[in-house]
Amino acid sequence: MAIERTLSIIKPDATKRNLTGKINAKFEDAGLRIIAQKRIQLTKDQAGKFYAVHAARPFYDELCEFMASGPVVVQVLEGEGAIGKNREVMGATNPADAAAGTIRAEFAESVGENSVHGSDAPETAAEEIAFYFSDLELVG
Ligand code: ADP
Ligand code: MG
């Protein structure tokens, strides 16, 4: 499998509980390298642009409010099959369905406040990385 890059976000519920290091350890233990990382606070408008694909879904407004409610850590993970591997490490969207040992099983508070975001395909990974990072900031 090829070396890939994927966008990860440690969400406000997790930064609030000081879980950045514990979550990063999960990525590194799985062989994913954190090749870019910054802590930022999104406005609701910026969160809305990032999650525009979900604009028609009933939870969109709640999701944008939540993502702007505190700091997030945006990061690029690199490794063999990084997009799928990160989704495995994250676990299912709803922590009630997430496999044991996954980030969401261990840390997520609810289906909305679920600690991490991860890109779901090569095209979205490229778009999402470019949303937060310039090429100069990506040092593999
Ligand atoms: P994932 O983050 O696992 O890729 P989705 O892309 O389907 O999941 O949804 C994006 C985000 O929207 C989720 O991570 C979660 O924060 C929120 N979300 C998804 N489904 C719901 C829901 N039923 N109620 C509230 N928030 C939700
Ligand atoms: Mg998604």
pLDDT tens per residue across span 43-96: 999 999 999 999 999 999 999 999 999 999 999 999 999 999 999 999 999 999
| pLDDT score, position 69 | 98
pLDDT band at 1 (very low <50, low <70, confident <90, very high): confident
| Active-site entry in 117, 118, 125, 129 | 117
Let me know if 117 is a catalytic residue: yes
CA 125 to chain centre: 11
Which two three-digit tokens encode residue 55?
């604009």
- In this structure, the residues whose C-beta lies within 6 A of any atom of ligand 1 are 54, 59, 62-63, 93, 111-112, 114, 117, 120
Which two three-digit tokens encode residue 1?
């499998």
Q: Could you tell me if 101 and 51 are in contact, meaning their C-beta atoms sit under 8 angstroms apart?
A: no
Q: Could you tell me if 100 and 86 are in contact, meaning their C-beta atoms sit under 8 angstroms apart?
A: no
Q: Return d(Cα 17, Cα 123) in angstroms, integer.
A: 32
| pLDDT score, position 4 | 98
Expressed in angstroms and rounded, the spacing between residue 112 Cα and the centre of ligand 1 is 6
